[in-house]
Amino acid sequence: MQKIIKIIILFIFLFVIGIFYISLTRDTNYNTSSLINKETPEFKIISFDDSNYFTRDDIKKNDYTLINFWASWCAPCRVEHPILMKLSQTKNLVILGINFKDKEPQAKTFLSELGNPYDLLAKDKNGKHSVKFGIYGIPESILINKELMIIQKFVGPLTVDDYNNIIKIVK
């Protein structure tokens, strides 16, 4: 009897540790790679100046679109900003910025201080639209082609490597 109890106790702990390990390695919280090679979800998101809406049709027009989720309160967004500025000079690539859960005046100050890399600018005041793109935190960016296919997803600030990568794809 005692032996069975011991085995059960060991098994419970093994089970718990196993689950912890699975959650760690799966890491679905921060990795939405399952979205890659899938079609962009339908969306209708209001432009930053409230003048019109953006939908998938706006993406179909371009060879490649990079959707970048950012906010003025997000420190890593400042870190990646120079890379976005550089990317904005690339042909064949349209950058759609989605201002995430932000206050308008601060978002404007942010862009006037650091420059505006966005060809299109939209806002997602309460973060509801970003959920469709599997956004957990910001900054995150998604590269989409003309066929509305998600080619790559970047979690966290864009790095120089990411820049080179994007340039290679877009060429």
Residue 161's closest CA among 83, 85, 66?
83
Name which of 127 and 169 has its Cβ closer to another protein.
Answer: 127
Name which of 21 and 53 has its Cβ closer to another protein.
Answer: 21
- Report d(CA 73, CA 34) in Å as an integer: 28
Residue 65's closest CA among 145, 10, 132, 127?
145
Check residue 13 for interaction with another protein (CB under 8 A): yes
Residue with tokens 């420190």: 75
Residue with tokens 């209001």: 46
171: Cβ contacts below 8 Å, ≥ 6 apart: 92
CA 26 from centre of chain: 18
CA distances to 8, 15, 58, 78, 103 from 2, in Å:
10, 20, 68, 60, 63
Choices 13-21, 60-68, 90-98, 140-148; region in contact with another protein by CB under 8 A: 13-21
Name which of 66 and 77 has its Cβ closer to another protein.
Answer: 77
Name which of 127 and 151 has its Cβ closer to another protein.
Answer: 127
Supply the minimum distance, in Å, between the C-beta of residue 57 and another protein: 28
The correct pick among 17, 36, 149, 160 for binding another protein (CB under 8 A) is: 17
**Binding positions for another protein, 18-57, rule CB under 8 A:** 19-30
Check residue 73 for interaction with another protein (CB under 8 A): yes
Task: Name the token pair of 63.
Answer: 């060879």
Supply the minimum distance, in Å, between the C-beta of residue 70 and another protein: 12
Cβ(53)–Cβ(83) under 8 Å? Answer: no
**Binding positions for another protein, 85-124, rule CB under 8 A:** 103-104, 106, 109-110
| Residues at the interface with another protein (CB under 8 A) | 2, 6, 9-10, 13, 16-17, 19-30, 72-75, 78-79, 103-104, 106, 109-110
